Every structure is written in structure tokens, then in C-alpha cells.
Chains A and B, each alone.
Chain A
């Protein structure tokens, strides 16, 4: 009797003449946690959408719990055994937590009306006992943080008692504590005969929680192995195709702050509600200053204050010795400061617009021809940026909605070059994107700040990124700077040290 809960063979899939899956073999065993890795655009999402029942295939076989699935488009229905937890949540933000968890099977009372008490109680059971999180079942989902929303999503899948759960980048917005909780839950789920497909770019986590790992590259399955039989380097090789990416945390390649000169940015005693409680620091020419802290530590609010989005109740901000009162994003940009925001789909991009339309907002002065704007100039600038940043798309008139996460981030990032900004504020720029793009962006930032009067502030929860890029790191916890580390010959900033401090 087969141990496989999912058995896919010879799967081919094309989208109007573009083939995205080539003869793919994919299987999932009972009680197994399978890590699914690959670059953005490699075909992971498509493969999962096929499994989930959202997309039909051109040829091949799909067997779930031994039952063959029909090919016909008419029979396409979401598989009752599979739950999928997305990067973009499928929750209703205006409804309560327990209502969302039981959205598809709201508990009913004897007469047929909804039994809110029961719904609340069962939600509490799932949240507190199974997932060990303290979320109020009556809380409106829209008010929850990204991390909590994700947890509610998982609770929802559990309530539907699905035996196969696909988790797409479930940890990108979680603190390491919450990641540990999630992993405990996953282990418990295994005991309950639930199989999990864990999609992530975080190879360390994959190796920690997954029993087996499958690599998809360019639409093909190239590797499938027990995690105990393989090492990270080998996996990285098969993701990227033979090139082992360099780790750039050599202290010699990281620029040291020129602390003797005047700071480019000075922040004095900033207070903003409960989120930022008295932060001061200085930013010097040529450095990439890291701010290491967990989600909720006040790091995003801090950057948004410097960019003029939030108004602090107390404190001063200086750009090159000039005090900035009443900062607005417009003023900040005028002074050469630019923010690459987190949550790129909400803050960084106009999803329904094209790449060109998104980029041109940053070069409105440059594309002017007299009173009017020139479409040609706009296209030229967009094309050049797309080329320099290696943005993969069907052209700058392509909608940004259709781009992969890494390419979307590159579009957001292009504003730096479009404006020629001198101070870069980067809020978690590498979250949820593939290894190669991460490296590309990291390199670009490092090179950029060495030219002229430039500097960058890098906020990230990915401590290995901070360790690799920053010569100086501030640790922020609950709205305060609690530690500062400077890279020296003897005292390398390493991820290990940072982990302990945050």
C-alpha cells in the first residue's frame, strides 16, 4: 500500500504557449513535512496551484490519497483534502478572528442560526491549545499584525481538517519565537497524520523542520532528497544551477563608517506613541547602518518618521545639520532621502499599473518636455532601469501584478536610482524574495553607498543579511536602541551575536 498522499507524474503545464512545468514529478508522503524550494518564477507556485485545484494541467497524472484526478477543465474544483496558506492572506479584514476561522463552516445552533459562543470557544481551542498564540477571537482581523494574520490563516486550515496543508512562505513575517511555535505546531500536525508542504526561501528553516526537500528549477524537478542526506550548499547549487553564491560577510568588504566627519542624518530623542520611545542615532557617509530588531520593535515606525510619513510627538531630525520641522515625504525626497517600504504590494507598488507607470512617478521632472510629459522619455528611463536592475518581465508596459516577488521588489527599489537619492532607508528589503535577487540587491546597496555623499539604513529581521551588509548595527527592542555593534578586525558582527541580542 502506497505511503504517498500525493503522487504527481509527468505534469506539463503551459500558459498560452509559454511552458512553465516540464514533465514534473512530485510526491508527498504521509506524515511528512516536505520543503519545496526554488527561485521565484521556477514554477513552485504553479505546481501548488495545480495541486490545490486552481489550475488544470496539459498532461500528466495527479493522484491524491490514491484517487486519480480528472483532467477536464469543467471538473476543476478545489481539492477537499488540500488547504493552502498564501503569502497574501485570504482573510476578510473587516470580520472577527473566529468568523474568519470558521468562514466555510460556521458553527450553527439548534434552530439553524449561527452559534457565536461555540464559534468563539472552538476558535480559542485552536488558537490557544494547538497554536499557543494569544489572539482574541473577537478581534477584527484587519487590526492584527501581519504575523498574527498568518496564524489565523493556519487556524482556519486546521478548522477545516484538511490532511494536506501547503504553506507558502509562512515564516517571512514571524519573529523567531513565533517561528519556533509554528514549527512545534507543524510537528504536532505530523502526529495527527497531516502532511505539510513548506515553501520557503529560508534554507536554514527548511533544514530545521523538513524531512525531505524538493527543488524546482526552470519548471523541472531537479532534486528530491531526505534533508538528512544532503547539505545546504548542494541545495543552493541545484536552485541556482551550479553556482555557489558567495557569502559576503568578510569584514574587509564591508565599509567602515567615517565617524570623524559630520553625520548625514542625525536623529535626536524621537518619540512616537508606544512604538518609538526615545531613539537617537547618527548616520555617516559611506556606511550601511543596520537596525536589527523583531517585527513590532518600532523599526518600521522609526524609518517612516525619518521619511516624514509619521509625525513624532517629540524629538528632532537633522539632514546634513539642517533641522527638519514638519517633515513630509515630499520634503524628505527633496533632501535626497528615500524609503524602500516593507509590504511592497501595499506601500510600494500600484498593482494595477504597469512597470513604467510605477517608475515614472519618481522621474516626473525628468520626463517633462515643456508643459507636458513625454511618454518616450518615460519609456526610455524605465527600460534602462529595468535593464540595469535585471528586471524580468515582458516589457515595461507589463503590469506589475504579474511579476514575481523578487522582480516586484526590484521595481520598488528602482526608485533609488531613478531619483539618485543619497540616503536610503530600507525596510526589510529582502523578505520573501529568492536568494539570487537578495544577493543582487545587497550588492547594489553596498556599491551605491560608496559613491559620493551617500549612506543607507538597513532594517531587517533577517539577521544574516544584516551581518553580511552592515559595518555598524543598532539593536532595537520595544522602541529603544539597546545595543550598538561596530565591525572591527577582532569583533566581527555575526548573525549569532545578533540573534542573542534581539
Chain B
């Protein structure tokens, strides 16, 4: 953990304080909890629990990079999970149910994106409203009942299974991270996303169709949420309308700590991943330390404020 290597220093400076915070947190909980924290089992647990937030944070990075935001992700998790579960229960066809789940994500993203792009309502408001609509729909179509998923193949692929000793969820996270990273950093599309958030007017003058870019960005974030919902369902062997409540805050916190700017023009996929891990580690560590839920909430909030403050100050001094 020596930081006097100049290459590491450069990476830290450009990637932001997130790496330091990450390391500090691990150190802190290691000291407080010893081997309980750093055991193989616990690490796997952390990876499993952070999978969904990570995947959603990566999707959210695209939305934030264009200068928009997607608050409906909470509700999408439940709704996609429910949709997938219901199609599976009715047809026992995994492919169909997966298409349904993903399709719901795309459809909601399209709905949100179209209103932002063409009717020009700020995404904050649109997604806040659709969060309500979709949340209501989840309760409505399930009549507040949980829907069990009996299809073991589904459960294995989407959440509960392992690939060797590697948790399936980790594989999904890895996959989404790679795709997300390449898409944002190494494609023309990614550059258009960053340009749209950096200065929408100037982006228009370079020939970018910023409306379509924002639409696509919102589709990406909602589809990631849908995938997260499907994984959640596979892990829980069922779907319930309460799934995903409160996730949006953690997702946005993860992306911001990770270095993505809330106002657009700057996005980091790896940063969002690390940000999600930071939040997962905090959750895990606090639980292991024996704090009850209310205490966890307080400490989590404090740690987040400290982390984001340090990150913001470092960014300003660059």
C-alpha cells in the first residue's frame, strides 16, 4: 500500500480520491474487525451485495454524463423483477422472460428519454414522476403479493449461481463494467455522450444529435436497472414490489464519489464501480460491527458526506 510510486500517484490524482478512500475504508474495517472482514467468504458476500448497485451505477454514469439523471431506477428494479417473474411463471420460458424484463427497462427508458428529449422536461422531474407511476404499477399488478420463481436455471444464471468459485453476480458485474467502460471511453458514442453533457449547445454545433444521445443515455440507465432487478429476483428466488426501495440514492452517491460530475461532461465507469464497492464495504462493515439499522443509516450518511467532500475539494484543487 505504498503510495510513493509515481505512476500510482498519477492514477490517484487523475482518478480522484476514490482510490484512497477505498483503501482507507478497507484498512479501517480490517483493523476493527480483523479476519471476519477480510475473509474469503466475506469478500464474496461484499461482491454479491454490491453487484446490483454497481451495475446500476454504471448505467447511471451514462445518464449523468449527458447532464441528466434517472431517479426511476428504484421502481424499475421491482417492476422488471416482477415482469420477469410473471412471464416465467406463465410460460416457464427463460428467454421470453429475460426479453420481457430487459424490454421493460428499454421501454421505460424510452418513455423517460422521449419526454426529456422532445418535450424538454428536465429529467429530474420526468424520472421522479415515472418512479411513482412504475412503483404504483408494481403494486397494482401483483396486488402487493410476492411472486415466486421456481425455475432453478433462471435463478442460477441470474443471481444465485456461481461460476466455479466466482459468484455469478460478480461475473455479471464484470461483464457490465467492461461493456460500459468500452462504450463510454472507447467509442464515438461515448464521446458524444460526454460532449452533450459538457456543453450541449457546442455539441449541437458539431453535428451531434443531443436529443437522441440523451434518449439513449436514459435507456441505458433504465435497462441497467432492469438487469439489476432481474438479478435481484434470481437471488431472492422471487419478486416483490418492495425491491429496490432507496437504491437510487446509493447509486447516485456511488457515481459521484467515483468522479462522475452531476452536471455532466465528466464520467468514470471504473470510478462508479469503486464508488459502489465503497458503499458496499461501508454497508458490510457496519453490519459486521454490530450496528443496528438506524445506527447504520447515521454512519453511512456521515461517511458519504466526508467522502464526497474530500472528493470535491480534491477536484477543485486540480
Q: Are A348 and B205 in contact (CB under 8 A)?
A: yes
B199 in contact with A361 (CB, 8 Å) = no
A1 contacts partner chain B, Cβ-Cβ < 8 Å: no
Task: Tell me the residues in window 325-378 of chain A with beta carbons closer than 8 Å to chain B beta carbons.
Answer: 328-330, 332-333, 339, 341, 346-353, 357, 360-362, 364-365, 368, 371-373
Q: Report whether A341 and B265 are in contact in the complex, using a CB–CB cutoff of 8 Å.
A: no
Confirm or deny: B182 has a beta carbon within 8 angstroms of a beta carbon on chain A. Answer: yes
Do A347 and B198 have beta carbons less than 8 Å apart? no
Q: Does A415 lie at the interface of the complex (its beta carbon under 8 Å from any beta carbon of B)?
A: yes
Give the nearest-CB partner of A328 in chain B. Answer: B209
Contact A350 B186 (CB under 8 A): no
Chain A interface residue number, banded: 20 to 34
Flag if B265 contacts A352 (CB, 8 Å). Answer: yes
Q: Tell me whether A373 and B205 are in contact (CB under 8 A).
A: no
Judge whether B202 is part of the interface by a CB distance below 8 angstroms: yes
Are A361 and B191 in contact, CB atoms less than 8 angstroms apart? yes
Considering the complex, give the chain B residue whose CB is closest to the CB of A341. B205
| Chain A residues whose CB sits within 8 angstroms of the CB of B186 once the complex forms | 372-373
Cβ of B290 within 8 Å of any chain A Cβ, yes or no, is no
Fill in one digit per residue for B164-206: 1 if any A CB lies within 8 Å of its CB, else 0: 0000000000000000001000111011101100110111111
Q: A350 touches which one: B187, B190, B199 (CB < 8 A)?
A: B199
Q: Is A309 an interface residue (CB 8 A)?
A: yes
Q: Which residues of A contact B187 (CB under 8 A)?
A: 371-373
Contact among A328, A352, A372 with B182 in the assembled complex (CB-CB below 8 Å): A372
Whether B199 lies near A309 (C-beta < 8 A) is: no
| A350 adjacent to B204 (CB under 8 Å) | no
Give the docked Cα–Cα distance between A360 and B182 (Å).
17
Asked whether A329 lies within 8 Å of B204 as measured between CB atoms, the reply is: yes
- CB of B202 within 8 A of CB of A347, answer yes
Interface code A408-426, partner B: CB below 8 Å = 1, 0 otherwise?
A: 0000000100000000000
Smallest Cβ-Cβ distance to A353: which chain B residue: B198
B207 touches A330 (CB 8 A): yes
Q: Knowing A361-B208, A373-B186 touch, does A352 contact B266 (C-beta < 8 A)?
A: yes
Q: Closest approach, in angstroms, between the C-beta of A187 and any C-beta of chain B?
A: 38
Measured CB to CB, the closest approach of chain A to B262, in angstroms, equals: 13
Q: How far is the CA of A332 from the CA of B190 in the complex (A)?
A: 23
Complex CA distance for A415 and B207, rounded to whole angstroms: 11
Q: What does the 1/0 interface line of B204-229 toward A look like (CB < 8 Å)?
A: 11111100000000000000000000
- Shortest distance between the CB of B22 and any CB in chain A (Å): 25
Chain A residues contacting B199 (CB-CB under 8 Å) are: 346, 349-352
Cβ-neighbour of A348 out of B191, B192, B194, B202 (below 8 A): B202
Cβ-defined contact, B198 with A350, below 8 A: yes
Which A residues lie within 8 Å of B182 (CB)? 372
Give the residues from 381 to 434 in chain A that come closer than 8 angstroms, CB to CB, to chain B.
415
Residue from the list A341, A357, A364 in contact with B188, Cβ < 8 A? A364
* A350 touching B203 in the complex, CB below 8 Å, given contacts A328-B209, A330-B209, A372-B182: yes
Whole-angstrom CA separation of A415 from B265 in the bound complex: 20
B205 & A368 in contact (Cβ 8 Å cutoff) = no
* A361 x B195 contact (CB < 8 A): yes
Query: Contacts A361-B206, A373-B191 given: A352-B201 contact, CB under 8 Å?
Result: no
B207 close to A329 (CB less than 8 A): yes
A309 touching B204 by the CB < 8 A rule?
Answer: yes
B303 CB to closest chain A CB (Å) equals 28
Q: Which residues of B contact A350 (CB under 8 A)?
A: 195, 198-199, 202-203, 265
Contacts of B265 in A (CB 8 A): 350, 352-353
A contact residues around B194 at 8 Å (CB): 353, 357
Q: Say yes or no: A339 contacts B205, CB within 8 Å.
A: yes
Q: Which of A309, A360, A365 sits near B205, CB closer than 8 Å?
A: A309
Q: Please, how many angstroms separate the alpha-carbon atoms of A348 and B203 in the complex?
A: 8
Q: Are B191 and A346 in contact (CB under 8 A)?
A: no
Which B residues lie within 8 Å of A357 (CB)? 191, 194-195, 198
Nearest B residue to A419 by beta-carbon distance? B207
- Residues of the A chain whose Cβ atoms lie less than 8 Å from the Cβ of B207: 329-330, 332-333
- A365's closest neighbor in chain B, by CB? B188
Residues of chain B with a CB closer than 8 A to A364's CB: 188, 191-192
CA of A157 to CA of B77, assembled, Å:
55
B190 contacts which chain A residues (CB < 8 A)? 373
Contact indicator A346/B201 (Cβ below 8 Å): yes
B122 smallest CB distance to A (angstroms): 16
Find chain A residues with CB under 8 A from B206 CB. Answer: 329, 361-362, 415
Given contacts A330-B209, A361-B203, A362-B206, contact A368 B188 (CB under 8 A): yes
B residues near A362, Cβ cutoff 8 Å: 206
Closest to B208 in A: A361
**CA A444 to CA B65, docked complex, whole Å:** 36
Residues of B close to A339: CB separation below 8 A: 205
Q: Please, how many angstroms separate the alpha-carbon atoms of A307 and B187 in the complex?
A: 26
CB distance from B159 to the nearest CB of A (A): 29
Q: Which residues of A contact B202 (CB under 8 A)?
A: 346-350
In the complex, what distance in Å separates the CA atom of A348 from the CA atom of B182?
A: 27
B188 contacts A373, CB within 8 Å?
yes
How far, in whole Å, are A293 and B188 apart by their CA atoms in the complex? 38
Give A309 to B198 CA distance when docked, in angstroms.
19
Shortest beta-carbon distance from A254 to chain B in Å:
29
Complex Cα–Cα for A237 and B265 (A): 43
A341 neighbours in B (Cβ, 8 Å)? 205
CA distance A341 to B204 in the complex (A): 11
Query: A328, A339, A346, A372 — which one has the most chain B CB atoms within 10 A of its CB?
Result: A372
- Bound-complex Cα distance A362 to B187 (A): 14
User: How many Å lie between the Cα of A50 and that of B202 in the bound state?
Assistant: 32
| A329 and B188 contact, CB distance less than 8 A | no
* Cβ distance A339 to chain B, nearest Cβ, rounded Å: 7
Distance between A290 CB and nearest chain B CB, rounded to angstroms: 22
| In the complex, chain A residues whose CB is within 8 Å of the CB of B205 | 307, 309, 329, 339, 341, 347-348
| Highest count of chain A CB atoms <10 Å: which of B192, B195, B199 | B199
Among B192, B198, B209, point to the contact of A352 (Cβ < 8 A).
B198
Known pairs A349-B199, A364-B188 / 14 extra A-B pairs, C-beta < 8 Å: A339-B205, A346-B201, A347-B205, A349-B202, A350-B265, A351-B198, A352-B198, A352-B199, A352-B265, A353-B195, A357-B198, A365-B188, A372-B186, A372-B187
Question: 14 A-B pairs, CB-CB below 8 angstroms?
Answer: A309-B205, A328-B209, A329-B204, A329-B207, A339-B205, A346-B201, A350-B202, A351-B199, A352-B266, A353-B194, A357-B191, A364-B191, A373-B188, A373-B191
8 closest cross-chain pairs (CB), A and B: A350-B198, A364-B188, A372-B186, A350-B199, A333-B207, A361-B206, A329-B207, A330-B207
